[in-house]
A = this chain, B = another copy of it.
């Protein structure tokens, strides 16, 4: 650190107050160790740079989007049709304030990283927010197709309402479809924090870069992974634990990691993939109307109308105890 003694002084000021017993008296040395030991690849700091969009604000943004897309389903008061414009209006105004701030943070963060001129950042932040909000009706109708697919795909669903307020797959798709639009607008950081928030909540990990058609039904969903360069057609059904990932056995790699190329599979229309199936590789295509059985490990393409299953398990009859 450039100005050692200065920092020493500061630490003294900080600790005069709290240093009052034999253990607390060791604290300043620990602080100094932490401040001064960070060098090279031994640790990571994020100093003197723009703040990263906070997860807390992201959560309230996602709640606002949820209320706007599904008016009356969440929150603790009835929404009546006559006051709907007030309701949506207030929430859209809030969304603009909060989202434009976070989008601006993301833009400034990139600006600093690449030492670009940041004069336009705030302006662009608001512009991108408006662009995003104009897509909300489309996002809403895509989600409607997902809800209908869930109702038609799950005998346990008693109503469309139940799906909207309790199905984790719908929540994950709502966050994905919003994050994907921001990702398409070239906003960095923010979409990934959004998708990780959904991942934390419902255990479904959909990268904002994936391309997903309408009417996707993810049932139960815990452990589902949909990679950055996946392409999924319309009316696909996916169960818990399914991975659509990249294939990277050492021999398949040519030294350096290449970032950005298609590494994840393509799933055509009307495919069903049962629980814990794993489908890997950027050249792997699962043809339309195919059914992938549970616990399958697939790294090659299959033609349309194929059923892929693992061998029957072996039965062993135990001697009675």
Contact = CB atoms under 8 A, between A and B. Distances in A.
9 contacts: A1-B84, A15-B93, A32-B85, A44-B73, A52-B165, A166-B196, A243-B275, A250-B291, A308-B313
A31 B222 contact: no
Nearest to A199: B168
A276 B278 contact: yes
Interface string A71-94: 111111111111111101110110
A79 B47 CA distance: 5
A71 B47 contact: yes
Given A88-B35, A310-B310, A311-B311, A225 B225 contact: no
A79 B54 CA distance: 14
A213 interface: no
A42 B141 contact: yes
B276 A241 contact: yes
Given A73-B46, A78-B50, A82-B3, A222 B239 contact: no
Interface string A128-158: 0110011011001101110110001011111
A119 interface: no
Given A52-B165, A113-B159, A205-B220, 12 more contacts: A14-B86, A15-B89, A27-B89, A32-B85, A35-B85, A46-B71, A49-B72, A51-B77, A250-B291, A306-B317, A309-B316, A310-B313
Interface size class of A (residues with CB under 8 A): 35 or more
B88 A72 contact: no
A43 B295 contact: no
A125 to B, nearest CB: 9
A137 B42 CA distance: 9
B278 A305 contact: no
Interface in A202-249: 202-203, 205, 207, 209, 220, 222-223, 225, 227-228, 239-241, 243, 245-246, 248-249
A189 interface: yes
A297 B313 CA distance: 7
Given A72-B47, A78-B48, A85 B308 contact: no
B207 A156 contact: yes
Tell me how many chains of this kind the complex includes: 3
A200 to B, nearest CB: 5
A189 B205 contact: no
Contact of A140 (B42, B136, B188): B42
B205 A23 contact: no
Nearest to A316: B307
Contacts of A44: 70, 73, 144, 147, 160, 164
Contacts of A180: none
A120 interface: no
A209 B228 CA distance: 34
Interface string A1-32: 11100110011001100100101101110111
A177 interface: no
Contacts of A10: 83, 85-86, 89
